Amino acid sequence: MRMRANYILVDPEPWTEQKLGTLVLPDGAKNKFARGVVEAKGPGLFLPNGDQPPIEVEVGDHVLYFKAAAVPLIFEGKDVHIVQEREILAILEPGDFGNIGD
């Protein structure tokens, strides 16, 4: 699947504990946020002046994003989410959620 504009294909990862690594999830956060691995991304949106800045995340990045903004679908037999770049809150670093990136 080739993504267009500022859309990103994310393979969601399940939440396993309330506290993982250095991040602590407040009550109810698992219903509002999701985390996953970027599988594909578009080239970015064109600005009114014609520039097209690239999307900041890279394929393979672990990200935290708004769950409600994700479009769930099944691609090649796997549950995935499509989100716009603006819905990604953070690129997670190793240790943020236990063994991410290890």
pLDDT in tens, 8-59: 999 998 876 544 566 666 767 778 889 999 999 999 999 999 999 999 999 9
Which tokens go with 85? 């770049």
For residue 91, the tally of other CB atoms under 10 A from its CB is 14
Q: What is the DSSP string of 26-50?
A: PTTHHHHEEEEEEEEE---PPPTTS
User: What does the pLDDT read at residue 16?
Assistant: 63
Can you name the CATH fold of 7-92? 10 Kd Chaperonin, Protein Cpn10; Chain O (2.30.33)
Residue 100 is which amino acid? Answer: I
22 residue type, one letter:
T
Q: Does the pLDDT value for residue 101 go beyond 50?
A: no
DSSP state for residue 98 in the 8-state scheme = B
In the chain, what are the domain boundaries? 7-92
29 vs 8: CA distance, rounded Å: 22
